[in-house]
Amino acid sequence: MYYQAILWDVDGTLLDFEKSERHGILSCMEEFGIEGCDDAMLGRYAEVNRACWEALERGEMTKPEVLVGRFHRFFAQEGITCSDVKAFNDSYQRKLGEIFFENEDSVALCKKLHGKICQCVITNGTVEAQREKLKGSGLGQYMDGIFISDEIGVEKPNIGFFRPVLELLKGIEPNRILVVGDSLTSDMRGGNNIGAKCCWYNPKKKKNTTEVHIDYDISKLCDVEKILK
């Protein structure tokens, strides 16, 4: 096998983040007595959330600002009064660890590759939610390394995030490492930063309008196996 290691993104790649996000928000809305949340509103939340994480990737917001700030922005935009936004986010974080959905057949795929190639997860999520999800989904047991930005203190795509990853993969040439993820700005750019090969998981078949270099563009996770052959 040419590739010796795979670095998997978690949210939106191995796990269906959109689905757990919807369930998590709806559950928090109910808990905090906020009514009238519909699909359109959830879509607007997703936009606010994405904009905040992109600001973090550009270094314009800190992680705590993103986590609570996205709900402040969203509630203000929707004219919703929330008694305690910080508590709302805390509850949401807990729920994201509890409510998760496998994306495609990711668990079976990681199980199949286990022992054949070194597999690690690289994620920008919070420690609490990510550890719970990796354990609960069964993905964690197939990983040779779990790298969470909160523990490292630096986010993807920064090179600092990848230092402990490359330390674990010592002896493997960067171009024999395959980064698989759904985000151009964090996963693929991160892969570019360390000289790894980049596999964009792109189920909606979007166009890459950035300057980020992509080696493979796949719409199904199982296509990773073809790349490895």
Residue nearest Mg ion, Cβ-based: 12
Q: Is residue 182 a contact point for Mg ion (CB under 5 A)?
A: yes
**Long-range pairs, 43-47, Cβ under 8 A, ≥24:** 44/74, 44/77, 44/78, 45/70, 45/74, 46/18, 46/21
Rounded to a whole number of angstroms, the minimum distance from the CB of residue 115 to Mg ion is 25
Instruction: Answer for the pair 221, 109: CB distance below 8 angstroms, yes or no.
Output: yes
Which position among 3, 8, 9, 67 is part of the footprint of Mg ion (CB under 5 A)? 9
Label the pairing between strands 5-8 and 216-218: unpaired
Instruction: Answer for the pair 74, 48: CB distance below 8 angstroms, yes or no.
Output: yes
Which position among 3, 7, 8, 11 is part of the footprint of Mg ion (CB under 5 A)? 11
N- to C-terminal Cα separation, the chain: 6
Q: Is residue 12 a contact point for Mg ion (CB under 5 A)?
A: yes
Give the residue with the Cβ less far from Mg ion, 11 or 57. Answer: 11
Q: Pick the stretch among 2-10, 96-104, 169-177, 213-221 that binds Mg ion (CB under 5 A).
A: 2-10
Give the residue with the Cβ less far from Mg ion, 31 or 47. Answer: 47
Binders of Mg ion in range 55-84 (CB under 5 A): none
Q: Pick the stretch among 27-35, 56-64, 176-184, 206-214 that binds Mg ion (CB under 5 A).
A: 176-184
Instruction: Answer for the pair 135, 127: CB distance below 8 angstroms, yes or no.
Output: no
Spatial separation of the C-alpha atoms in residues 24 and 22, rounded to whole Å: 5
Rounded to a whole number of angstroms, the minimum distance from the CB of residue 226 to Mg ion is 21
By the criterion CB under 5 A, which residues form the site for Mg ion?
9, 11-12, 182-183
